[in-house]
């Protein structure tokens, strides 16, 4: 059975890059009838926060990416927080030392920094020179006496490796040119990422590791660790990174690409998943709009490209607008009301809001555009300068509208059509010369939603007040 994992560090909110990694793992698992595991890499004691873990899970669930196993989800391979698995890692490290795959290294951080500076001065790449392997017992005793605590390093004895990447094909590595023996346990006793990720993947029977290409250079280290641990290596697939417009790298700390920001702007979760799925993956045809279920059926890791994907916020807005227009009126209203409530924008009557929201379904691309659009429900709106340009010559139309509305007794649904028909009898204005003044009086704007939808919802009394106000300009 396919088993994949998403294992963020709870040191911040999810952002575009890692939520896309989670989505690709989820789609791959669902496509193959496998399991999607959420694992928490919280060994960074200083920066890990439980509130970030909670927020990450909340963001996954919001987008429909539901783990099969993980904290709060159950599973047979727990615990799923690394901070609760330290004993497992220490046992693995001790086993690696006993079998000669790792050793206590008494080389200090200052010595390593000196090696790094020398490499920089000689304009060559830095890698550890493995000097800690050959320390005599006397040298080790002297360093112990000075209070030096050892790190544990993994021995690299097979520097030439080749791996078949599920996305990039055959990739060759020469670790002599990349690293020396690398640390699997720091001097403070905490295991490193390289050790824990391999131990966890092995014990949780992970079959496929799908991650960003920034981890590609870690793969040879992990292959050696799996071999030393006596575990079968999962298959690896490294996703192209996501870049901004112009090819610049998107910062993980950039607020504008955090899940918090996307949710705050009012994107639909399934629209965001749709867009993210197409960042690096192609369905093999011209289809662009997918439901989450359709993505699960169509997703094929073999159709993930090797080139960096470009994040285009305009394309995301367009796609979200397409998804908004595919909602039923009831779904749109419920989603919009939920967003406005979450953002604290519910300062208008919910009943009136629900009736008027349908007007904007084909006029917005994100829910955060609603508060500005909904200002037409407020009687004290500001007039656009362009709308005021012909206010004086439109006052004849305003007066005629008030006369008609004073005598109006028909159903609200007939209000727009009836008003227009009666105005055509009373004033000589036709076409734009008639409709622009009506829009200016009713909304204060030159452009906006269709008047035939706005006027019946606002009703006679509100419309009368607006024509009366426009007459005072």
Selected catalytic residue, list 252, 354, 395, 464: 252
Strands (E), 244-316: 309-310
Q: How many CB atoms lie within 10 A of CB 109?
A: 11
Task: Compute and round to an integer the Cα radius of gyration of the chain.
Answer: 31
Q: Which residues of 239-249 are buried (b: 16+ CB within 10 A; e: fewer)?
A: bbbbbbeeeee
CA distances from 342 to 52, 142, 230, 366, 389 (A): 19, 62, 50, 15, 38
In which region does residue 123 sit, left (phi positive, over 0), alpha (psi from -120 to 50) or beta (all else)? left
| Closest to 398 in 3D by CA, of 309, 471, 447 | 471
Cα(136)–Cα(201) distance, integer angstroms: 36
d(CA 15, CA 283): 24
Distance from C-alpha of 303 to C-alpha of 284, rounded to nearest angstrom: 7
Closest-CA residue to 443 (of 359, 365, 364): 359
Interior/surface letters 326-352, b for 16+ CB within 10 angstroms, e for the rest: eeeeeebbebbbebbeebebeeeeeee
Token code pair at residue 143: 């360093």
Contact 105, 132 (CB under 8 A): yes
**Nearest to 60, CA basis, from 13, 116, 107, 97:** 13
Cα torsion angle, 128, 131, 134, 136, sign: negative
Q: Is 432 a catalytic residue?
A: no
Pair of tokens at residue 324:
């908004």
| Active site (catalytic) residues | 252
């Amino acid at each position: 059975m396919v088993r994949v994992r998403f294992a963020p560090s709870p040191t911040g909110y999810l952002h575009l890059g890692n939520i896309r990694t989670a989505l690709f793992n989820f789609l791959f698992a669902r496509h193959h009838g496998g399991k999607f595991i959420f694992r928490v890499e919280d060994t960074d004691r200083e920066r890990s926060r439980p509130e970030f873990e909670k927020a990450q899970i909340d963001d996954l669930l919001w987008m429909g990416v539901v783990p099969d196993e993980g904290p709060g989800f159950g599973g047979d391979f727990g615990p799923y927080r690394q901070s609760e698995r330290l004993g497992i890692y220490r046992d693995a490290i001790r086993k690696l030392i006993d079998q000669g795959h790792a050793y206590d290294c008494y080389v200090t951080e200052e010595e390593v920094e000196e090696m790094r500076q020398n490499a920089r001065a000689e304009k060559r790449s830095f890698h550890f020179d493995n000097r800690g392997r050959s320390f005599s017992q006397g040298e080790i005793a002297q360093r112990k006496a000075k209070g030096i605590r050892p790190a544990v390093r993994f021995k690299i004895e097979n520097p030439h490796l080749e791996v078949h990447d599920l996305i990039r094909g055959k990739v060759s590595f020469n670790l002599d040119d990349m690293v020396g023996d690398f640390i699997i346990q720091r001097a403070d006793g905490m295991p490193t990422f390289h050790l824990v990720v391999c131990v966890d993947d092995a014990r949780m029977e992970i079959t496929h590791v799908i991650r960003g290409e920034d981890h590609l250079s870690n793969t040879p280290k992990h292959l050696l660790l799996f071999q030393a641990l006596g575990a079968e290596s999962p298959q690896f697939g490294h996703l192209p990174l996501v870049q901004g417009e112009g090819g610049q790298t998107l910062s993980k700390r950039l607020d504008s690409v955090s899940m918090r920001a996307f949710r705050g702007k009012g994107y639909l979760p399934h629209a965001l998943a749709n867009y993210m799925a197409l960042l690096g993956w192609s369905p093999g045809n011209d289809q662009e709009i997918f439901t989450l279920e359709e993505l699960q059926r169509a997703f094929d890791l073999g159709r993930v490209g090797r080139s960096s994907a470009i994040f285009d916020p305009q394309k995301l807005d367009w796609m979200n607008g397409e998804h908004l227009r595919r909602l039923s009126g009831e779904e749109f209203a419920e989603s919009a009301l939920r967003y406005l409530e979450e953002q604290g924008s519910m300062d208008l009557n919910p009943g009136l809001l629900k009736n008027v929201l349908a007007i904007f379904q084909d006029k917005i691309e994100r829910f955060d555009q609603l508060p500005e659009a909904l200002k037409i429900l407020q009687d004290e709106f500001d007039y656009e300068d362009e709308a005021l340009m012909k206010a004086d010559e439109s006052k004849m139309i305003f007066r005629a509208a008030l006369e008609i509305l004073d005598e109006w007794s028909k159903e609200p649904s007939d209000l727009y059509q009836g008003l227009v028909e009666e105005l055509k009898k009373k004033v000589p204005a036709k076409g734009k010369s008639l409709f622009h003044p009506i829009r200016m009086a009713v909304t204060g704007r030159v452009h906006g939603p269709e008047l035939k939808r706005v006027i019946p919802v606002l009703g006679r009394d509100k419309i009368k007040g607006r024509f009366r106000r426009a007459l005072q300009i």
